[in-house]
């Protein structure tokens, strides 16, 4: 196509020197780059809403920022792909290669920047990796990285057989940052895929995410050592001392890690369970590597070590059944109509919104007290994480209103004093009133 256009230009007299061919290719490269930008913009407009809808359905919430980032990533990735295809179709001249190289490098750099920030990585890391991508592509297209690496390698010193230079520092830094970013991206993708799976319960999802995170870290470690050329056999001398230090220093940490895995495997405690451990009562927010997060009704978040949940008695209100029965004692005066009292108590508890109809509430007369006839309401709820005090207060308020409307007395303790003999004042008896 380029040769046909060039032949036409030569036939029409628009080109008078063969050297002008590079300018024609430059103009053609500019048109192709512009077309790639337009096609990328158009494709992003067509598909980004669908991709954003898929992401929002998986994530469970809408995000205008995520929509905009997905649109930009689609546009830049499409532009880079089209420019890459154009580069491989023809042996371009220097001007055209510069235009294509700049467009490709900028598009991929911006794509990497958006990708890193899209997985909630620091902004500075996205900027750094974007600039690194830009420099790497431009350097590889125009002369390679050899001049840069040779210059950085000259800045350094030798220590025995090992060379410590600026190139060594930059290589390690870039490798660590790239592997850290890649591990975070893969970990988030794996966690999102496992979390959105319909065939797993919440406990299995959490366990799968933890295992996937450990596997990603291990793979990133071995990939990093291989990329940096680190010989792990050279560290065998220190492995014994290192293992002993880990055994003593990280004993509790490793114990909590395995305790958390055991808790997830046997499903004795799951996210969302309502538990009571010593003085902590609330629902399990998450099971971490070191501790279990328990949120109380006061909004406080207690971090309980995993080992404590393995060795301490735990009261799990929703282990096998989320239904929890509560008891509400009430006393009425002896002069009350007990059949009416029973009917009013049934009515009060039946009107409470959180009380279950099945199992049905029970009303029992428990005993005859010193000052009152004691009753007890036994009702079931299915959402203990919503609290017990509020539902108990709601039922008692309804009982109070109904008792006031029907004249049922709630007694208070009374004491009668009997005087057998009047005391003397100053040694003299009180005069007889008669």
Average pLDDT over residues 357-376: 89
Q: Return the CATH number at 343.
A: 3.30.70.100
Quote the domain boundaries for residue 281: 255-316
Q: Are 115 and 70 in the same domain?
A: yes
The answer as to whether 278 is a domain residue is yes
Is pLDDT at 73 greater than 80 in this prediction? Answer: yes
Average pLDDT over residues 366-372: 87
Q: Are 26 and 156 in the same domain?
A: yes
User: Which one is predicted more confidently, 362 or 235?
Assistant: 362
Q: Are 277 and 402 in the same domain?
A: no
pLDDT > 70: what percent of the chain? 77
Q: Are 43 and 162 in the same domain?
A: yes
Is pLDDT at 164 greater than 80 in this prediction? Answer: no
User: Which one is predicted more confidently, 222 or 232?
Assistant: 222
Q: What's the per-residue H, E or C state across the chain?
A: CHHHHHHHHHHCCCCCCHHHHHHHHHHHHHHHHHHHHHHHHHHHHHHHHHHHHHHHHHHCCCCHHHHHHHHHHHHHHHHHHHHHHHHHHCCCCHHHHHHHHHHHHHHHHHHHHHHHHHCCCCHHHHHHHHHHHHHHHHHHHCCCCHHHHHHHHHCEEEECCEEEEHHHHHHHHHHHHHHHHHHHHHHHHHHHHHHCCCCCCHHHHHHHHHHHHHHHHHHHHHHHHHHHCCCHHHHHHHHHHHHHHHHHHCHHHHHHHHHHHHHHHHCCCCCCCEEEECCEEEEEEEECCCEEEEECCCCCEEEEEHHHHHHCCCEECCCCCCCEEEEEEEEECCCCCHHHHHHHHHHHHHHCCCCCCCCCCEEEEEEECCCCEEEEEEEEECCHHHCCHHHHHHHHHHHHHHHHHHCCCCCCCCCCCCCCCCCCECCECCCCCC
pLDDT in tens, 395-415: 999 999 999 999 888 887 767
Q: Are 164 and 31 in the same domain?
A: yes
Q: What is the mean pLDDT of the chain?
A: 77
Provide the pLDDT confidence category of residue 365 given band limits of 50, 70 and 90.
Answer: very high
Question: What is the predicted pLDDT for the residue at 138?
Answer: 74
Is pLDDT at 323 greater than 50 in this prediction? Answer: yes
* Domain-ending residue, one of 290, 316, 342: 316
Average pLDDT over residues 76-89: 86
- Highest average pLDDT, of 44-48, 76-80, 296-300, 303-307, comes from 76-80
Provide the pLDDT confidence category of residue 1 given band limits of 50, 70 and 90.
Answer: very low
Question: What is the predicted pLDDT for the residue at 59?
Answer: 60
pLDDT in tens, 91-139: 777 778 888 888 888 888 888 888 777 767 777 777 877 887 887 777 7
């Amino acid at each position: 196509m380029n040769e046909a256009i060039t032949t036409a230009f030569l036939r029409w007299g628009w080109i008078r020197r063969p050297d002008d061919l590079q300018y024609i290719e430059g103009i053609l490269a500019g048109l192709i780059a512009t077309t790639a930008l337009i096609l990328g913009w158009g494709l992003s407009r067509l598909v980004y809403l669908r991709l954003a809808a898929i992401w929002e359905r998986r994530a469970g919430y809408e995000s205008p920022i995520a929509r905009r980032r997905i649109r930009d990533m689609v546009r830049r990735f499409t532009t880079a792909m089209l420019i890459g295809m154009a580069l491989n179709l023809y042996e371009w001249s220097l001007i055209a290669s510069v235009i294509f190289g700049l467009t490709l490098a900028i598009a991929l750099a911006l794509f990497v920047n958006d990708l890193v920030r899209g997985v909630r990585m620091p902004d500075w890391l996205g900027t750094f990796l974007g600039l690194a991508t830009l420099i790497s592509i431009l350097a590889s297209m125009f002369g390679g990285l050899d001049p840069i690496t040779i210059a950085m390698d000259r800045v350094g010193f030798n220590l025995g057989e090992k060379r410590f230079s600026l190139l060594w520092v930059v290589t390690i830094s870039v490798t660590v940052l790239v592997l850290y970013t890649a591990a975070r991206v893969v970990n988030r993708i794996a966690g999102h895929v496992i979390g959105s799976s319909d065939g797993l319960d919440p406990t299995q999802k959490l366990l799968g995410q933890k295992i996937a995170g450990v596997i990603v870290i291990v793979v990133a470690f071995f990939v990093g050592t291989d990329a940096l050329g680190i010989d792990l056999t050279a560290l065998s001398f220190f492995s014994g001392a290192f293992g002993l230090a880990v055994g003593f220093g990280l004993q509790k940490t490793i114990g909590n890690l395995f305790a958390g895995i055991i808790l997830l495997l046997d499903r004795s405690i799951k996210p969302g369970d309502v538990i009571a451990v010593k003085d902590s009562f609330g629902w399990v927010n998450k099971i971490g590597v070191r501790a279990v997060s328990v949120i109380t009704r006061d909004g406080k978040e207690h971090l309980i070590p995993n080992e404590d949940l393995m060795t301490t008695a735990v009261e799990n209100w929703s282990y096998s059944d989320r239904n929890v029965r509560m008891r509400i004692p009430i006393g009425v005066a002896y002069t009350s109509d007990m059949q009416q009292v029973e009917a009013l108590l049934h009515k009060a508890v039946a009107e409470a919104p959180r009380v279950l109809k099945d199992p049905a509430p029970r009303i029992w007369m428990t005993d005859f007290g010193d000052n009152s006839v004691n009753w007890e309401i036994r009702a079931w709820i299915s959402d203990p994480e919503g609290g017990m005090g509020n539902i108990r207060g709601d039922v008692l308020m309804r009982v109070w209103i109904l008792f006031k409307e029907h004249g049922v007395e709630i007694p208070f303790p009374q004491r009668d004093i009997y005087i057998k003999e009047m005391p003397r004042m100053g040694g003299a008896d009180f005069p007889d009133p008669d």
